[in-house]
């Protein structure tokens, strides 16, 4: 006999509607995972969702022969802005395969390597800004890192310098925040309320984002270039399998999707700065490695492969920050078979069409895998120690064919920015007693975290 899946008590009629804060959904799920363990469920507004928070169950759900990405809830809501893009396409939509085959070569490691100097250039802009501040400065690093991310994303992929690292906040940043936050909240409200009260928020944000993307296309049309970047590919390439090109609307869809997808990276780096402040010995070790590998010269792409400790530091940051907080899974339908789906060798069972969500805040802190799971230890993410970890705790970029197509871009951005900040900047905690608390939507980020920055003392 299977074991019942734990569920918070809830209230009559409304179920568990008060157990998840729609303004901070993922922190609520983290709290529930800490209380209920490897699996739990909630029921609200007539819907049931099952959440998985252990490495073993996460690995089982990542078996692509049994499970696939579930496009539902907030992911369906964001289709208003990006339609059937790579992130939001349903399993049966041809558009996903066409877009993936067109885009993937431009986001392969060798293509990303060609933009290394541009990422360094953008990061240098941020470091120069920080090093020029008054010694008594107090900054929220996430704000500037978010600007840096948009700057680097648009420059490397679409060939446009926004100059938004220093200066007014770019409208795209607010629009991404408004659209993703609204997408998360809409499934928790009655549809009539969404239409009458909140519909304008998503429409306004969508208009801003799509206008921004359209302007990038127009600028390239009016100023042709021999640059063969992602923008050129979206506008000109054809799917090698079907011979189809992307429509004008689909080009806009994918342009908008890219910075939304990469918005997890600055959240991870901001959390990483906190972890470095809490563990000053890791800064010493990283700087020793950087001084040995890079020395006093410029930071080059060939250095990255030799930064083993920095790579471990980035992985450990991804593990503990859970900047991309989870992903949705559903059983692959079996025509004519509606029998329950068994998990953990039959310990649990769920309906044949049950939506499940992997909560990485639980999976990545699984005490069955990690000794002292809350401790920040980059060495466990290096070499043989990393290779021996189960696959279920390495899902920072999702899983399988629907994992983040920009994972190589994200990895290079994370390594470059973390390495250069460690190498060239000293951080001081404004509040040494600060403890990580996060909020966010399709990403999660530190709340009210501020630091002082100054040039590295040598």
Output the known binding site: 404
Residues 6 or more apart whose CB falls under 8 angstroms from that of 188 comprise 17, 20, 22, 44, 45
Residue labelled with tokens 């950087």: 290
Tell me the C-alpha to C-alpha distance, in Å, between residue 337 and each of 72, 333, 341.
22, 8, 10
Exposure string of 370-380, with b = 16+ CB inside 10 Å and e = fewer, is beebeebbbeb
Residues 6+ apart with CB under 8 A from 52: 38, 39, 58, 61, 356, 357, 358, 359, 362, 363
DSSP string, 148-203: HHHHHHHHHHH------SSSSPPHHHHHHHHHHHHHHHGGGS-HHHIIIIIHHHHH
Cβ neighbors of 161 (< 8 A, separation 6 or more) are 151, 154, 155
Tokens matching residue 118 = 């541009």
Question: How many angstroms separate the Cα of 338 from the Cα of each of 4, 351, 353?
Answer: 19, 8, 8
Binding residues for heme: 404
Calpha distance 203→188 (Å, rounded):
18
Alpha carbon distance 103, 404 (integer Å): 12
Nearest to 291 by CA among 128, 458, 124, 122: 458
Cβ atoms 38, 53 nearer than 8 A: yes
CA dist 98 and 93 (Å) reads: 10
Under a CB-based contact definition with an 8 Å cutoff, are residues 425 and 456 in contact? yes
At 341 the three-state DSSP class reads strand
Residues 59, 62, 67: CA angle, nearest 5 degrees = 135
* CA dihedral sign, ordered 177, 180, 186, 191: positive
With contact defined as beta carbons under 8 Å apart, do 190 and 156 qualify? Answer: no
């Amino acid at each position: 006999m299977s074991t019942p899946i734990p569920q918070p008590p809830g209230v009559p009629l409304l179920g568990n509607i008060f157990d998840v804060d729609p303004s901070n959904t993922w922190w609520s799920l983290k709290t529930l995972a800490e209380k209920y363990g490897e699996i739990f469920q909630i029921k609200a507004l007539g819907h049931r969702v099952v959440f998985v928070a252990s490495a073993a169950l996460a690995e089982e759900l990542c078996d692509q022969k049994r499970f696939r990405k579930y496009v539902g809830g907030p992911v369906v809501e964001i289709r208003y802005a990006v339609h059937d893009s790579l992130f939001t396409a349903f399993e049966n939509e041809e558009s996903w395969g066409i877009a993936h085959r067109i885009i993937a070569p431009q986001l392969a490691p060798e293509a990303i390597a060609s933009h290394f100097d541009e990422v360094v250039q953008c990061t240098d802009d941020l470091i120069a800004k920080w090093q020029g501040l008054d010694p008594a400065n107090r900054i929220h690093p996430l704000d500037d890192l978010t600007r840096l991310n948009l700057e680097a994303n648009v420059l490397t992929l679409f060939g446009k310098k926004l100059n938004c690292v220093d200066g007014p906040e770019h409208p795209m940043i607010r629009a991404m925040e408004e659209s993703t936050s609204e997408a998360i909240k809409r499934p928790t409200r009655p549809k009539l309320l969404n239409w009458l009260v909140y519909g304008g928020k998503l429409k306004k944000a969508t208009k801003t984002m799509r206008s921004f993307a359209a302007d990038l296309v127009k600028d390239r049309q009016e100023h042709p270039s021999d640059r063969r970047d992602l923008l050129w590919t979206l506008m000109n390439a054809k799917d090698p399998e079907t011979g189809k090109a992307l429509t004008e609307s689909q080009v806009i869809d994918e342009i908008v999707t890219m910075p939304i997808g990469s918005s997890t990276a600055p959240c991870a780096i901001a959390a990483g700065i906190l972890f470095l402040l809490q563990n000053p010995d890791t800064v010493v070790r990283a700087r020793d490695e950087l001084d040995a590998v890079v020395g006093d010269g410029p930071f080059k792409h060939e250095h990255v492969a030799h930064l083993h400790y920095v790579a471990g530091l980035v992985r450990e940051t991804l593990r503990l920050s859970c900047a991309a907080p989870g992903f949705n899974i559903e059983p692959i339908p079996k025509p004519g078979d509606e029998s329950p789906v068994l998990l953990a060798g039959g310990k649990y069972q769920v309906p044949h069409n049950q939506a499940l969500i992997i909560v990485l805040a639980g999976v990545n802190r699984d005490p069955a895998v990690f000794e002292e799971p809350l401790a920040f230890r980059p060495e466990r993410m290096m070499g043989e120690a990393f290779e021996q970890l189960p696959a279920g705790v390495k899902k920072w970029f999702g899983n399988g064919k629907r994992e983040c197509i920009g994972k190589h871009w994200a990895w290079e951005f994370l390594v470059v920015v973390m390495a250069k900040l460690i190498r060239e900047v000293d951080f001081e905690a404004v509040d040494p007693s600060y403890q990580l608390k996060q909020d966010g939507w399709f990403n999660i980020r530190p709340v009210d975290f501020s630091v002082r920055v100054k040039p590295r003392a040598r």
